[in-house]
Amino acid sequence: MVPRGPDQAVRVRRAVALGGLIVLLILIVVGVHSCQVSQANGALKDYTVSVNALMQSSQQTSKQFFNLLSSGTGSSNAPNLQSQVDEARLSASNQLSRAQGLSPPDSVKTAQQNLVLALQMRVDGIGNIAQQLQPALQSQTATDADNGIAANMARFYASDVLYKDYVLPTIVGQLHKSGITVGGPNGEPLFAEQFLPDVQWLNPSFVASALHSPAAPAGPSGKPAPGTHGHALNSVNVSGTNLQSGSANTIPASPPPTFTLNFSNTGQNDETNVVCKVTVSGSSVSGQTVVPKTTAGQSTSCKVTLSSSPSPGSATVKTTVQPVPGEKSSSNNTLSFPVTFQ
């Protein structure tokens, strides 16, 4: 065995020291990268949470806005309806300002630009419609105003396309790329509902019927058509849960709940401008919407959002498909439910 010389021992120690330094540098680089990845993921998660909360708030503005248009109150007080709709515009403007104040990670900056544009469309649409409401409820200007309102509804449709087809996919793609779970009980929540509740709002005649405008399609005149007429209200649900008439139903009072009325045209005739209405006992809280047409023998549904949040506590909710001309029995048009609002 050849003994090591002093130089060889020094070289060994230097090699060991260099190896240790290299390992240390690798650990530092890995640690810094891990920290950077963690910060980037945290920023992406924070941005996603902010967008989700913002779009939920925008959805509440949608419910407020379309409930006002469907309430039928404008026919007796158009200036008041315009004032209330302008309040919805202020809410939408606030949501736009919040969106403009977000600080998105570089990976979702394009999504952020589209988000801001979508919310700008909603502000502009509500503002333009508010200006058309009084003309829409005056005989001389109703037709043009209804057309203008329907045209502005297209802004909401476009905003939904922009959000659902361009904002959401970009955010989801970046979350997946970063290994972040999307949806489910443990994943990042993503809001995917649309602002425009029904594409029928793009139809001027539907707008006119909802507003009770002078330009609304005329209902049956004179005697009803031969044959039977009428509807049957089959069930009512809130957020997908059917209400029970024989037991207590618990419903969140805020935001104002939306009731889905499922009903059938049980007559031999198609019907037009069918009114769905929901009232809360012991209060002035109510809501209504108009279904432009139902088909004989077919089932359909309507969504009715209450005008405001009911007071917490027990009440009776009455849901009705109002009788149409020629309907001889309306006993199956109404369902009532005991409800506890929380």
Tokens standing for residue 183: 């949806």
What DSSP element (H or E) covers 321?
strand 313-321
Secondary structure (DSSP) of 32-95: HHHHHHHHHHHHHHHHHHHHHHHHHHHHHHHHHHHHHHHSSGGGT-HHHHHHHHHHHHHHHHHH
Residue 309's closest CA among 341, 261, 263?
Answer: 341
221 located within any domain: no
- For helices 6-70 and 168-177, give the axis angle rounded to 10 degrees: 160
Distances (CA, A) of 66 to 14, 201, 284: 77, 10, 18
Asked if 250 and 340 count as a contact pair (C-beta separation under 8 A), the reply is yes
DSSP state of 178: T
Q: Is the peptide bond before 292 cis (omega within 30 degrees of 0)?
A: no
Query: Per residue in 96-107, pLDDT tens?
Result: 999 999 999 999
Whether residue 47 is found in the same domain as residue 184: yes
Compute the CA torsion angle 215, 219, 221, 226 (nearest 10 deg).
160
268 located within any domain: yes
* Residue 245 vs residue 24, higher pLDDT: 245
84 located within any domain: yes
Whether residue 139 is found in the same domain as residue 273: no
9 located within any domain: no
DSSP β-bridge partners for residue 293:
272
147 located within any domain: yes
Asked if 66 and 15 count as a contact pair (C-beta separation under 8 A), the reply is no
pTM: 0.63
Determine the pLDDT at residue 76.
Answer: 65
220 located within any domain: no
With cut-offs at 50, 70 and 90, classify the pLDDT of residue 342: very high
Asked if 273 and 219 count as a contact pair (C-beta separation under 8 A), the reply is yes
With cut-offs at 50, 70 and 90, classify the pLDDT of residue 210: confident
Determine the pLDDT at residue 335.
Answer: 97
Compute the CA torsion angle 277, 280, 285, 291 (nearest 10 deg).
-10
Whether residue 244 is found in the same domain as residue 180: no
* Residue 155 vs residue 186, higher pLDDT: 155
Domain boundary among 180, 211, 242: 211
Query: Per residue in 139-180, pLDDT tens?
Result: 899 999 999 999 999 999 999 999 999 999 999 999 989 888
With cut-offs at 50, 70 and 90, classify the pLDDT of residue 6: low
Whether residue 62 is found in the same domain as residue 163: yes
Query: Per residue in 125-138, pLDDT tens?
Result: 999 999 999 999 99
Count helices and strands in the chain by DSSP H and E runs = 6, 9
216 located within any domain: no
With cut-offs at 50, 70 and 90, classify the pLDDT of residue 26: confident
Whether residue 69 is found in the same domain as residue 177: yes
Determine the pLDDT at residue 29.
Answer: 63
Whether residue 171 is found in the same domain as residue 288: no
Residue 190's closest CA among 167, 212, 207?
Answer: 167
Mean pLDDT for all residues in the chain = 87
* Residue 60 vs residue 26, higher pLDDT: 60
Distance CA 336, CA 317 (A): 6
CATH of the domain at 256: 2.60.40.10
The rounded percent of the chain whose pLDDT value lies above 70 is 87
Angle CA 204–210–215, to nearest 5: 50
Whether residue 163 is found in the same domain as residue 204: yes
The rounded percent of the chain whose pLDDT value lies above 90 is 56
Whether residue 77 is found in the same domain as residue 174: yes
Distance CA 88, CA 131 (A): 13
Query: Per residue in 193-206, pLDDT tens?
Result: 889 988 889 989 88
Determine the pLDDT at residue 225.
Answer: 85
The answer, yes or no, to whether residue 65 has pLDDT greater than 90, is yes
* Residue 60 vs residue 191, higher pLDDT: 60
Query: Per residue in 216-235, pLDDT tens?
Result: 765 545 578 889 999 999 99
Whether residue 94 is found in the same domain as residue 202: yes
The answer, yes or no, to whether residue 36 has pLDDT greater than 60, is no
Whether residue 139 is found in the same domain as residue 240: no
Q: What is the residue range of 41's domain?
A: 34-191+198-211
What DSSP element (H or E) covers 115?
helix 109-136
Whether residue 60 is found in the same domain as residue 205: yes
The answer, yes or no, to whether residue 49 has pLDDT greater than 80, is yes
Domain count, the chain: 2
Distance CA 269, CA 295 (A): 7
Average the pLDDT over 268-287 and give the result: 90
Determine the pLDDT at residue 27.
Answer: 66
The answer, yes or no, to whether residue 261 has pLDDT greater than 80, is yes
Determine the pLDDT at residue 317.
Answer: 96
Determine the pLDDT at residue 22.
Answer: 77
Asked if 198 and 190 count as a contact pair (C-beta separation under 8 A), the reply is no
The answer, yes or no, to whether residue 38 has pLDDT greater than 70, is no
Whether residue 203 is found in the same domain as residue 242: no
The answer, yes or no, to whether residue 313 has pLDDT greater than 90, is yes
